[in-house]
Structure 1
């Protein structure tokens, strides 16, 4: 079978890479016939270019790269295609990012720590943030969909590159009548930015409910395989 190369952003925090590797093991366990390899864009090893070059050396002619990314921002749209282009001799198909398909996972993580049926709850959906407005709007749209579906107040917040930050989002929710705050995680893995969000939220409200990142939910591994299969089918049709 054509190898699946899972590529995450990478982080100086070793918990992040460890979480990504654990996710890859779950993907492998669900599809033991599939060659699943872990890679990173930056900051962690192995880099995606190194993994793709390994495949070329081993005689592979094709690969499917599945971005372990939640948004279609600079890393997905620019960085990853540019890195793939650095490796000749391999036909690489890049799958879609994981994105909004993980909405239910993020919501369930929130529900594990906060009473989502409480009408006084305010929810911050915390994400990394991007210089691309459309990527930030996708997070804000997800927060609005939760609000419409579940009845609690919900706003997006960002760790960097975009506004509002978490304290500002919490203040907005308080102004709209929220008496309790839950912070939902739009991150796959623990790391420096999720820690920053947690610290900021606790500084405002020590009783804030903080949801866990998403990667160790079984549905994430299932989605990785779905993205692989969809990309592979498209590659076959275009061949």
Structure 2
């Protein structure tokens, strides 16, 4: 029997954890598969081990793992595979299929542009967009954000699109915001490239509020999961042909 295990990042923020749970509950209600469980990589219960065990206890023999992660950084490349490898050693008869993170998709960039326009209204050439990523030492993440910035520039029709990070990469949030505000002739629109709210989004919001109090024109777009496209992508992955294929990473006995 097939099961689906959704894996979110986890956060100390109750608001962020509740957002992730609500998101997964909405997906579960639209997916006709009896065994579905949510889990978190860290900081929030239930953790991956517990979510996996719940699937097994409910009769699962094949578990499709769907990570709710935007890009393929360390958690996707190391932490999740290590945990699943350990679980497979404990449950060798369970076949595990692992989906990819969301990645850089045209429809996700379309959705991000819709969120920007929905909050900022009509954009002017003097407006600037600052994309704020979680940050990673993985060079692929910088390459991904270069693609994201280019895609947003094209979709929004503005030239000034910058990227900064909350950790592990440069420029950091404060420096990136200083730079973009220094020469801004219009509004600075801040796009957190984060799926859900949490302590990181709160850090962005505090910095935005600080700059607004200094007389700067800023808008914070908020987390990406406000757009329905993410729910649609997860539902598509949960309901696609689940037999092992080249599109899945497979752990089996």
Q: TM-score, normalised by structure 2?
A: 0.85
Name the CA shift for 1:116/1:73 in 2 (closer, same or farther; >3 Å): farther
Cα distance between partner residues in 2 of 1:138 and 1:120:
25
Name the CA shift for 1:9/1:133 in 2 (closer, same or farther; >3 Å): same
Matched, 1:49 2:40: no
Q: Which residue number in structure 2 is paired with residue 12 of structure 1?
A: 12
Q: TM-score, normalised by structure 1?
A: 0.90
Tell me which of 172, 190, 208 is aligned to 1:201: 208
Cα distance between partner residues in 1 of 2:241 and 2:174:
39
Cα distance between partner residues in 1 of 2:39 and 2:241:
18
SS at 1:209 equivalent: strand
Cα distance between partner residues in 2 of 1:233 and 1:143:
35
Q: Which residue number in structure 2 is paired with residue 119 of structure 1?
A: 125
Name the CA shift for 1:166/1:115 in 2 (closer, same or farther; >3 Å): farther
Counterparts of residues 76-91 of structure 1 (less than 5 Å): 76-87=76-87, 88-89=91-92, 90-91=94-95
Tell me which of 164, 167, 178 is aligned to 2:171: 164
SS at 2:194 equivalent: coil
Matched, 1:107 2:113: yes
SS at 2:80 equivalent: helix
Residues 166-213 of structure 1: CA deviation (Å, up to 9, x unaligned): 332233334555421000121111110111112123323443100021
Question: 1:230: how far off?
Answer: 5.1
Question: 1:116: how far off?
Answer: 5.0
Structure 1 residues 39-48 or 29-38, which shifts more?
Answer: 29-38
RMSD (Å) for aligned C-alpha atoms: 2.3
Cα distance between partner residues in 1 of 2:33 and 2:119:
37
Aligned positions, number: 239
5+ residue gaps, structure 2, are none
* Mapped contact 2:189–2:219 kept (Cα < 8 A): yes
Tell me which of 131, 141, 153 is aligned to 1:147: 153
* Mapped contact 2:120–2:189 kept (Cα < 8 A): yes
Residues 151-170 of structure 1: CA deviation (Å, up to 9, x unaligned): 21111111111111233223
Question: 1:34: how far off?
Answer: 4.9
Name the CA shift for 1:68/1:231 in 2 (closer, same or farther; >3 Å): farther
Cα distance between partner residues in 2 of 1:116 and 1:84:
46
Cα distance between partner residues in 2 of 1:141 and 1:85:
32
5+ residue gaps, structure 1, are none
